[in-house]
Amino acid sequence: MRVKKITLRKVQLPLKSPFITHQINLENRPLIIVEAMDEVGLVGYGEVTAFPTPFYTYETIETAWYVLGELIVPRVLENELVYPTGFVNLTNDIQGHQMAKAGLEGALWDLYAKEKGLSLSSVLGGKRQVVPAGAVISLTNHWESDIKNLKKDGYQRYKLKVRKGREAEAISAVQHFDPSLPVMIDANGQYDEKDMDHLIALDTYGLMMIEQPFKAGDFYLHKQLQLEMKTPLCLDESVMSVHDAIQAVQLQSCRIINVKISRVGGMTAAKKIHDYCLEYNIPVWCGGMVESGISKAHNLALASLPNFTIAGDLSSSTRYFEKDLISPGISMNRGEINVPDAPGIGVDVDREYLEAVTHQMSVFSC
């Protein structure tokens, strides 16, 4: 696989409604779209899902733009890759910057699968033709109407963003509306050691899981809490690499892992984490980053692997955006989404709209 041209685009996608957590309030979603073109003109697409500020990880759209343009893109253009996994060795000496790496590696996976005339799912060894969809509900005062609409669409898992001390309010509102709904909460690392008893008390709600209660990288406190709780803990921000996933499993810091392609540095690492967790009977699910249909298509390919047994942050193109970057968009039917089976990520990018929402572009060629 010889890449002849790489294009980076900064885009802004308007959100249908603000996405609010205790850390950020997004009204527009900035993204970097990566295009990798080979010698015959085939194009692979990837997406950098960093945020404007470093609230989730240290990366931002601006740091990813710099690292890609100055460090990573030139290496890809100077080297021929036999298989997309070779990208990892090519960039191993660049510490961190997982989202920047994932964006370009994603474009390489899409391009490679297109060159082979195969779907990305089949290249990865996916086993599912459809995957269950799960909804993410940001902080809101409209629990009942939001849940009613999502339930009507058939979502199979409901993730609630919460504020410390007001978890019961959110959980009770949802369970009052429908006690049968599979509900989890996402803490985004808000808690510390003094909150142990408070978290243990949440056992009474029978949640599917509590995601990332403590700060990223704190395997010790997660282990201590999991020993005291029946509710499974799920790690998100703590798992930035395959090594982190191995630590989490071996230290028994969680019973579930959220795999985000962008957070762990790309599809190669994501698949390795899936394979390791499968070996140790740790279920995984595919996390989302309020991303466009390009990333969603990559996520669907990943979620087709056998150990993705929990509905992930997988939703239709209309969930967050009035208009997506792909056409036709990703649609959901009764809580399930078809895994694209056309070559590559299996969706068509709306080039006209992509051009319209691009506000900065850099083109590199060899």
Smallest CA-to-CA distance from 321 within 23, 124, 28 is with 28
Place domain 122-338 in its CATH homologous superfamily: Enolase-like C-terminal domain (3.20.20.120)
Q: Which fold has domain 3-117+350-365?
A: Enolase-like; domain 1 (3.30.390)
Distance CA 50, CA 153 (A): 28
Joined together, the tokens standing for residue 106 give: 């994603």
pLDDT grade for 147, boundaries at 50, 70 and 90: confident
- 261-285 pLDDT, tens digit per residue, is 999 999 999 999 999 999 999 999 9
215 carries an active-site annotation: no
Smallest CA-to-CA distance from 261 within 98, 84, 150 is with 98
- 6-29 pLDDT, tens digit per residue, is 999 999 999 987 666 666 667 789
Distance CA 257, CA 320 (A): 24
Distance CA 292, CA 157 (A): 20
- 86-110 pLDDT, tens digit per residue, is 999 999 999 999 999 999 999 999 9
Joined together, the tokens standing for residue 115 give: 């060159």
Angstrom distances, CA of residue 326 to CA of 18, 38, 345: 21, 21, 11
- 215-271 pLDDT, tens digit per residue, is 999 999 999 999 999 999 999 999 999 999 999 999 999 999 999 999 999 999 999
Smallest CA-to-CA distance from 1 within 80, 77, 79 is with 80
- Summarize the confidence of residues 331-347 as an average pLDDT: 95
Catalytic annotation, pick one of 10, 101, 114, 161: 161
Distance CA 13, CA 29 (A): 5
- Summarize the confidence of residues 121-137 as an average pLDDT: 94
**Which residue is it, tokens 């989890």?**
184
Distance CA 70, CA 278 (A): 37
Joined together, the tokens standing for residue 283 give: 């279920």
Joined together, the tokens standing for residue 232 give: 């499974």
Q: Does residue 161 register a pLDDT over 90?
A: no
Residues 6+ apart with CB under 8 A from 282: 249, 254, 255, 256, 257
Specify the pTM. Answer: 0.94
Catalytic annotation, pick one of 10, 114, 159, 260: 260
Where would I find the beta strands (DSSP E) of 71-181? 130-132, 135-137, 158-161
Joined together, the tokens standing for residue 228 give: 């005291």
114 carries an active-site annotation: no
How many beta carbons lie within 10 A of that of residue 337, not counting itself?
A: 21
Q: What is the mean pLDDT of the chain?
A: 93
Domain extents in the chain: 3-117+350-365, 122-338
